[in-house]
Chain A
Amino acid sequence: MQSFKYTSATSDANAVRVVAANREAKFLAGGTNLIDLMREYVERPAELVDVSQLPLAQIRPTTNGVSIGALAKNEATANHPLIRQHYPLLSMAILAGASGQLRNMATNGGNLMQRTRCQYFYDIAMPCNKREPGSGCGALEGLNRIHAIFGYSDKCVATYPGDMATALYALDAVVKVRGINGRERTIPIQDFHRLPGDTPQKDNNLEHGELIVSIEVPKNNFANRSYYLKVRDRASYAFALVSVAAALETDGSNIKQARVVLGSVAHKPWRSMEAERALVGKPATSETFKAASDAALKDAKPLAHNGYKVELGKRAIVLALQQAMTGGAA
């Protein structure tokens, strides 16, 4: 690991000031991803500002929903009574990720900042435009079984691996960030992560030095009919090959509102407006779900080794919607 200066932040303003002033500085929260990447020399910050002790861990009701502190731990968030009762989809997604130990360490803000698990990104002997802009993409013509089927470019075919954010897309969350001089702004979750384009080194639209302070989730009518389905190589403690955050609001037997978001198929969670259009106004039947799943995967462009994700994605969407209709009981 490259040597770095460590300081513990005394306030969010102080943390932002220090990081903003140094291009080589980074915030440190749970460290579950950053420390790992630093040990592999993928990340080489010269300075770490530890924000984990800042008072940004609250989860509290707001007039329009719930505000989830950026520094609340994943495990505490998934098990918070407000979240379990009103946003079970979010609890399910978080609990599908990592292990008990990692969820106790990982923060919500850090989870949004989680980097890809592309093996070429991790291996510093390999080319990777995300790690080393201009060096090429090892995965494009290499082993790309876990890679993207949507929205990639010839510069990068990596996927965003997180479960939590996939659910947050379905829940129309908004990310609140604080920058230099206390400047606050909100970023709708669908605008938070980026597609790779020509700048795959940028995972998201945060400016250097901006600190995530909370995730705001509005009220919704999905709590009775939502489900997070994660398909992976083993039953637990593995990243998704494909995941689906499905949420429905029904009016009698008809679907009034729907959310279908695919995880691990693109550089960001992939919300399928096509699938949602195929669901709204239709009866909540398996035929409707099948049509929606076909619509969702219609424009998928698999690489050499991940063609399976197309059929897997369709089946996962149907199953997730069926499970959502049963109230999410697995």
Chain B
Amino acid sequence: MDDKQLPEDLCLIEDEVPISRDEEKLLDELGLVGESRRKFLGQGITAGLGIFALQLLAKEKALAALEPTPGAVFAQNGMLENSVKVSMKVNGAARSLEVDSRMSLLDTLRERLDLTGTKKGCDQGQCGACTVIVGGQRVLSCLTLAAQCQGKDVTTVEGLAKGDELHPMQAAFIKHDGFQCGYCTPGQLCSAVALLNEARNGNASHVTQNLRTHARGLKLSDDEIRERMSGNICRCGAYPGIVAAIKEVQSGRETAQTWHFATDDEIAAVLTDDDKQQIAAMNGGGKTDAIV
């Protein structure tokens, strides 16, 4: 990959952050306008969570465009010992391929269909990172054989957004800081999106009181969301943000963002004289606010 240049408009440098139309749109969606947008961008790339996510997204797109695809390599290998022909719809597109009978849906998505958004965590049904939506139901793609998906409709994290418009759950995860490293996030998102339907249908959970009354259109409490999302483990512990994001989308009631990037004044207020000296040294004797 080293010899491949990323398209120029995807490269972000530290002190100059070009804004693409996509990024403009995302910032608008996040309600970052005027002064707050200027501050957001002023943090620079190392601090910019939204920019960071955008950069990853852009890289994903760029890498996906590179040839040859892993699928092409597989196809050249010739005969499989126990091959199965499968046709399924993935994110709305009909896909037909021949797979080894052992191939999981997860490996098929990642290695054959170049949809690397779905992540492999434990590969044994204990972490939820590989969660995708099959036939409207959230399932674990690591314990699903590709062969079992004949005729099925599969939605992965790549299929949640409508073009450049993020799914409300994706926007809420960004707004409420629902991730840190992001590895579990595609699974969290698919799980959370499918959960909306389950609540709409009135499905009960382990913490639901009185199972004998069955009402559609449940409004989920924090405890309900936690229980229903227990199949998605987050090693960074972003759970409070995940619960807040799902609650906002599920209830339809907008809640305030509980974090913001530190302002220059806030940062200056917590710097010790030592810090200031170190920063000054790092900046070659320049001003302390040069890095904030």
Contacts and interface: CB of A to CB of B under 8 A. Distances in A.
B110 to A, nearest CB: 16
Given A96-B206, A100-B138, A102-B140, A32 B82 contact: no
A330 B207 contact: yes
A44 to B, nearest CB: 12
A102 B125 contact: yes
Given A91-B204, A100-B231, A5 B209 contact: no
B16 to A, nearest CB: 43
A5 B145 CA distance: 13
A64 interface: no
Contact of A99 (B81, B128, B137, B148): B128
A36 B203 contact: no
Contacts of B143: 31-32, 35-36, 102, 105
Interface range on chain B (Cβ under 8 Å from partner): 35 or more
A31 B229 CA distance: 21
A300 interface: no
A84 B211 contact: yes
B138 A104 contact: yes
Interface in B212-245: 212, 214, 226-232
B150 interface: yes
B23 interface: no
A105 B131 CA distance: 12
Which DSSP category, helix, strand, loop or mixed, fits chain B's interface?
Answer: loop
A20 interface: no
Contacts of A308: none
Interface residues of A, number: 43
A95 interface: yes
A289 to B, nearest CB: 22
B138 A39 contact: no
- Chain A CB within 10 A, most for which of B145, B198, B210, B227: B145
B124 interface: yes
Interface residues of chain A: helix, strand, loop or mixed (majority): mixed
Contact of A3 (B81, B204, B211, B227): B81
Contacts of A88: 211-212
Interface string B186-213: 0000010011001001111111111110
Nearest to A78: B204
A79 B212 CA distance: 10
B129 to A, nearest CB: 11
Interface string A85-126: 100100110011011111011000000000000000000000
A81 interface: yes
Given A3-B102, A84-B204, A102 B231 contact: yes
B43 interface: no
Given A88-B211, A101-B191, A104-B138, A95 B102 contact: no
Nearest to A105: B139
B101 interface: yes
A205 interface: no
Interface string A228-265: 00000001110000000000000000000000000000
Given A96-B206, A101-B139, A329-B209, A4 B125 contact: no
A36 B125 contact: yes
A1 interface: yes
Interface in B70-101: 81-82, 84, 100-101
B147 A104 contact: no
A327 B209 CA distance: 10
Contacts of A329: 209-210
A5 B232 CA distance: 32
A48 interface: yes
B188 to A, nearest CB: 12
A328 interface: yes
B211 A328 contact: yes
24 contacts: A3-B81, A4-B82, A6-B145, A32-B140, A32-B143, A35-B104, A36-B124, A40-B124, A48-B101, A73-B137, A84-B214, A85-B214, A88-B212, A95-B211, A98-B231, A100-B138, A100-B198, A100-B229, A101-B138, A101-B191, A236-B226, A236-B227, A328-B210, A328-B211
Interface of B: 81-82, 84, 100-102, 104, 123-125, 128, 131, 137-140, 143-145, 147-148, 150, 191, 194-195, 198, 201-212, 214, 226-232
